[in-house]
Structure 1
Amino acid sequence: MTGAGRRHKAYKRGHSAEYVAALALMLKGFRIVERRYRTKLGEIDLIARRGDLILIVEVKARRTLEQAMEAVSATTMRRIESAADLWLARQPDHAKLSLRFDMVAILPWRWPVHVPAMFMAYASSLS
């Protein structure tokens, strides 16, 4: 398989994983407010809301939960946090929102594993 073929397959797998993760979060009572939110600073896979709680969700499709957790590097976390700050600043009710950084791991033949508070913000969020 060529490099382009592998990238296309990974892209499709990522979209499928995000769809499954979104479904799992919706079944927990969250509303998906953004998918693949992109900024110059970074990308957020999913942004979900339930009441005043906002989840900034990184979705990882891996063979094991450990591999999924290890795949979220410090650099990735900083990019996600930067994008989250931009998104939050654009919300009219941002002062009352609670932000949490979660991960949803998509594992073979298992229900998605939701890991709440996967990482904490390095810098204080907008308030």
Structure 2
Amino acid sequence: MSVMGQQLSFDFHTPVPALPERHAQQIHGQGRRRRVERGALGHRAGLSAEAQVAQDYRRRGYRVAGQRWRGRSGEIDLILHDGDGLIFVEVKKSRSFDHAMQHLSSRQIARLLRAGEEFAGTQPRGSLIEMRFDVALMNEQGMIRIVENALGP
């Protein structure tokens, strides 16, 4: 390879000198800081999506029974009363509806079902109460798509 008439040569057998420790720590610290900032941003975006989905359900006449309910089995983003029944909602936000839905793993579905049963056990009718599991998807434009009974038969 020639740069202004000079031939460059590379020695691929000589190891690259290590960064001084303080530079390595700074680079590692910056990467960790960026990951923490991205995580905090994602958390706030998730909280905002959950609030908007709750507002959408309220607008359609449902009564909120709980938000971010946590039991031994896990957390449920949103719990609503549907007459005498319950609706458990998992909220997923991503750049597109399809991408948001891909974030729902089989492990998470199992956890949601267990947490729903656990919450139902706190109600007067227990697990005899009618239950439905919805998934609320939000895209990057803030549009909401509700998949009713997404975890049902």
Q: Same fold (TM over 0.5)?
A: yes
**Candidates 41, 47, 55, aligned match of 1:15:** 47
What is the identity, as a one-letter code, of the residue corresponding to 1:69?
A: M
| Residue 106 of structure 1: aligned partner | 138
What is the identity, as a one-letter code, of the residue corresponding to 1:77?
A: I
**Candidates 26, 38, 57, aligned match of 1:25:** 57
- The list of structure 1 runs, each at least 4 consecutive aligned residues, that deviate by more than 4 angstroms after superposition, is none
Structure 1 runs not aligned, ≥5 long: 122-127
Kindly state the Cα deviation for residue 110 of structure 1 after the two structures are TM-superposed: 4.8
TM-score between both structures, scaled by the size of structure 1? 0.87
- The structure with the greater share of residues assigned to strand is 1
**Candidates 64, 67, 72, aligned match of 2:104:** 72
Q: Any idea what the Cα deviations from partners look like across 1:23-42, whole Å, max 9, x if unmatched?
A: 11111111111100112221
Larger radius of gyration: 2
**2:130 is the counterpart of 1:94:** no
Kindly state the Cα deviation for residue 90 of structure 1 after the two structures are TM-superposed: 0.7
**2:152 is the counterpart of 1:120:** yes
CA separation in 2, counterparts of 1:95 and 1:38? 18
CA separation in 2, counterparts of 1:111 and 1:14? 14
What is the identity, as a one-letter code, of the residue corresponding to 1:45?
A: D
**Structure 2 SS opposite 1:2:** helix
**Structure 1 SS opposite 2:149:** strand
**Structure 2 SS opposite 1:41:** coil
TM-score between both structures, scaled by the size of structure 2? 0.73
Kindly state the Cα deviation for residue 66 of structure 1 after the two structures are TM-superposed: 1.2
- How many residue pairs match? The answer is 121
Kindly state the Cα deviation for residue 93 of structure 1 after the two structures are TM-superposed: 2.9
